[in-house]
């Protein structure tokens, strides 16, 4: 703004709801964004009714689809 970079602080609660990731602004209130897969497409539905459909353009190699465990493993019991 005014020739300077401005990065506003945002906050959202994300909840999985039957395979759909719902974003609630500031951790409460109505759903402002919904994200889910429709076949191979990733769909983003916004609170204003607009929809973005992202088509998959690449695939990870089979051996890299599941991330390897990172960091120390702790066992308490």
Q: Is the pLDDT of residue 6 over 80?
A: no
Of 20 and 61, more confident: 20
* Full-model pTM: 0.61
pLDDT of the residue at 12: 83
pLDDT of the residue at 2: 66
Q: Is the pLDDT of residue 42 over 90?
A: yes
pLDDT of the residue at 43: 96
Alpha carbon 68 to its chain centroid, in Å, reads 20
The single-letter DSSP state of residue 62 is G
With a pLDDT cut of 90, the percent of the chain lying above it is: 44
Q: What angle do CA 61, 67, 68 make, to 5 degrees?
A: 115
Residue boundaries of the structural domains of the chain: 12-56
The single-letter DSSP state of residue 19 is T
């Amino acid at each position: 703004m005014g020739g300077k970079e401005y990065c506003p602080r945002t906050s959202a609660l994300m909840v999985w709801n039957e395979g759909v990731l719902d974003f609630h602004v500031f951790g409460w209130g109505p759903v402002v964004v919904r994200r889910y897969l429709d076949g191979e497409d990733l769909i983003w539905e916004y609170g204003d009714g607009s929809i973005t459909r992202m088509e998959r353009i690449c695939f990870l190699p089979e051996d890299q689809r599941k991330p390897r465990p990172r960091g120390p493993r702790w066992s308490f019991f």
